C-alpha cells in the first residue's frame, strides 16, 4: 500500500479538504495528515501575526476557528513537519496555494502555488480572471502576482471559514466588473463553493483542491 502525506498550514486533521481529494486518488492509497500548527496553543500562534500583505496566510485550527499567521513562520513549521513524515511516505502534498520558498524532502513535494501559476498561465481568457482569497490583505498582492504571469486579474476577499458574504455573491460582483473565469485561491474553498460560484456567474471555476488532487493522482 502506498502512503502519502497531506500537510495543512493549520492544524490537522483537515478532513473537510482531504475527503474531497481522496475521491480522486487510487483506493489503495493511505493518507497521513499533519499540520504546521499542530501542538501549538492559540497564544503561541497569535505570537506570529503577518507583518504585511505579502506575509498573510489564512488557515483553520482543529476547533474550526480561522486564524491569520505569518508566512515565514508557517514555512519553517512546514519544513519541520516534512522532516517528521518524509521517511514514511512516497509523496507529499501541501494544502495551501500561497507562495512559499522551496520545500524540500526525500520524496516528491507537490506545491500548489506552482501548479496554479502553470495552469493559469496555460490558457487565454477573453477578460480578467476573478480571484477569490480569504483575507482583504491578500487581494492586492495576489492580483499583482498573477498579472506578473501575464494574466489580467481582478480580486476580492471572502472567507471560506467565517460567516458573512457567500463566495457566489462576491464572485457575481467580480463578474459585473468583467471577470470571465474564476480561481478559488485557498484550500478552504470547497467543491460546494465552486458550484455556488459557477451557478452565480455561469463562468468556468478553478478550485485548488481538485487541482492538487489530480496532480497527486498523476504521480501515483
Averaged pLDDT, 178-202: 97
- Burial annotation 160-183 (CB, 10 A radius, 16+ → b, else e): bbeeeeebbebbbbbbeeebbbbb
- The pLDDT of residue 194 is 97
- The pLDDT of residue 208 is 97
pTM listed for this prediction: 0.93
* Joined grid coordinates for residue 151: 494574466
Backbone angles phi, psi at 165, to 5 degrees: -60, 150
SS (H, E, C) 112-125: HHHHHHHHHCCCCC
Averaged pLDDT, 60-71: 90
More confident residue, 64 or 22: 22
- The pLDDT of residue 73 is 94
Bond preceding residue 13 cis, omega within 30 of 0? yes
Closest to 167 measured CA to CA, from 156, 176, 177, 181: 156
Mean pLDDT, the chain, whole residue set: 94
pLDDT at residue 133 tops 80: yes
Q: Band the pLDDT of 165: cuts 50, 70, 90.
A: confident
- The pLDDT of residue 216 is 97
* Joined grid coordinates for residue 119: 495552469
- Cα 167 from Cα 11, distance rounded (Å): 24
- Cα 182 from Cα 153, distance rounded (Å): 9
Q: Band the pLDDT of 64: cuts 50, 70, 90.
A: confident
- The pLDDT of residue 151 is 96
Three-point CA angle 30, 94, 14, nearest 5°: 65
- The pLDDT of residue 148 is 95
Q: For the ranges 15-24, 123-132, 161-170, 199-208, which has the lowest average pLDDT?
A: 161-170
pLDDT at residue 88 tops 80: yes
- The pLDDT of residue 31 is 97
* Percent of residues, the chain, with pLDDT higher than 90: 87
- The pLDDT of residue 163 is 73
Which pLDDT tens digit goes with each residue over 17-55? 999 999 999 999 999 999 999 999 999 999 999 887 778
- The pLDDT of residue 10 is 95
DSSP one-letter code for 214:
H
Amino acid at each position: 500500500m502506498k502512503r502519502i502525506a497531506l500537510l495543512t498550514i493549520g492544524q490537522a486533521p483537515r478532513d473537510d479538504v482531504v475527503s474531497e481529494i481522496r475521491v480522486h486518488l487510487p483506493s489503495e492509497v493511505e493518507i497521513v495528515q499533519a499540520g504546521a500548527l499542530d501542538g501549538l496553543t492559540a497564544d503561541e500562534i497569535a505570537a506570529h501575526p503577518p507583518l504585511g500583505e505579502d506575509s498573510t496566510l489564512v488557515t483553520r485550527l482543529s476547533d474550526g476557528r480561522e486564524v491569520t499567521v505569518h508566512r515565514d513562520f508557517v514555512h519553517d513549521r512546514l519544513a519541520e513537519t516534512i522532516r517528521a513524515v518524509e521517511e514514511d511516505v512516497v509523496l507529499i502534498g501541501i494544502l495551501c496555494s500561497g507562495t512559499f520558498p522551496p520545500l524540500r524532502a526525500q520524496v516528491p513535494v507537490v506545491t500548489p502555488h506552482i501548479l496554479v501559476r502553470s495552469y493559469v498561465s496555460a490558457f487565454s481568457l477573453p477578460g480578467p480572471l476573478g480571484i477569490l482569497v480569504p483575507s482583504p490583505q491578500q487581494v492586492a498582492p495576489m492580483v499583482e502576482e498573477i498579472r506578473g504571469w501575464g494574466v489580467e486579474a481582478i480580486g476580492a476577499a471572502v472567507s471560506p471559514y467565517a460567516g458573512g458574504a457567500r463566495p457566489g455573491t462576491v464572485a457575481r460582483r467580480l463578474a459585473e466588473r468583467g471577470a470571465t473565469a474564476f480561481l478559488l485561491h485557498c484550500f478552504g474553498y470547497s467543491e460546494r463553493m465552486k458550484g455556488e460560484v459557477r451557478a452565480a456567474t455561469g463562468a468556468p471555476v478553478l478550485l485548488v483542491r481538485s487541482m492538487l488532487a489530480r496532480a497527486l493522482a498523476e504521480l501515483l
